[in-house]
Chain A
Amino acid sequence: QQQVKQSPQSLIVQKGGIPIINCAYENTAFDYFPWYQQFPGKGPALLIAIRPDVSEKKEGRFTISFNKSAKQFSLHIMDSQPGDSATYFCAAASGRNQFYFGTGTSLTVIP
């Protein structure tokens, strides 16, 4: 059973656009929701994360929106750039050793 459902599988946007990647979970015990960015040939890098006590977190051009009642969270990339082209994974966790990852979204930003 997939603990975290991620969509879309792939996404193509023009430079300057705002791609949005969505994730949903069922287990209300999850209390930490990170996003990872992975470039080809590299390991996933922690990008931004949120806890359920806030509804939004911004770090630079990256924003997480969190809806606790709907059990959904999303990543928004403002003013997207070709260098943002990568695969993005959401995750949900309830402790350091209980991480569940989404299936990933391949983002392409066209110049």
Chain B
Amino acid sequence: SAVISQKPSRDICQRGTSLTIQCQVDSQVTMMFWYRQQPGQSLTLIATANQGSEATYESGFVIDKFPISRPNLTFSTLTVSNMSPEDSSIYLCSVAGLEGGTDTQYFGPGTRLTVL
């Protein structure tokens, strides 16, 4: 499985500001994903980030609020823009990989965001 790191691991931000979260993988991967996990909740897919193309956003998430970059096959960023307290969540990146010959997803450690 891939080794995935995220920066920052946590942050406390003021309302109206923006935060960029970085996701670094130790091997080249075609597909990377960004999820949001609100306290005590399940994982909600924000968008799929493919290298060399625009990210694909899920219903309820828009590029102006969550711009994503994917400059190469090992790195991606997610920006949470114009933050409000409702954006307080854990943000997770994941990558597509293989487990026993089957497509699966592996997750990074997450970024815990608190918006005041």
Contacts and interface: CB of A to CB of B under 8 A. Distances in A.
Interface of A: 32, 34, 36, 41-46, 49, 51, 89, 93, 95-97, 99, 101-104
For the complex, would chain B's binding face be called helix, strand, loop or mixed by DSSP majority? strand
A43 B109 contact: yes
A25 B64 CA distance: 33
A97 B31 contact: yes
Given A44-B107, A49-B102, A95-B103, 9 more contacts: A32-B102, A34-B99, A43-B108, A43-B109, A44-B92, A46-B106, A49-B104, A93-B103, A99-B105
Contacts of A45: 107
Interface residues of B, number: 24
B24 interface: no
Interface of B: 1, 4, 31, 33, 40-43, 45, 48, 92, 96, 99-100, 102-110, 112
Of B4, B103, B106, most A-chain CB atoms within 10 Å = B103
A30 to B, nearest CB: 12
A44 B96 contact: no
| 3 closest cross-chain pairs (CB), A and B | A96-B103, A43-B107, A96-B96
Nearest to B10: A41
A43 B110 contact: yes
Nearest to B108: A43
Nearest to A49: B99
Contacts of B104: 32, 34, 46, 49, 93, 96
Contacts of A42: 109-110
B27 to A, nearest CB: 15
A51 B102 contact: yes
Given A101-B43, A102-B42, A96 B109 contact: no
Contacts of A89: 42-43
B106 A97 contact: no
A101 B43 CA distance: 6
A46 B99 contact: yes
Contacts of B48: 97
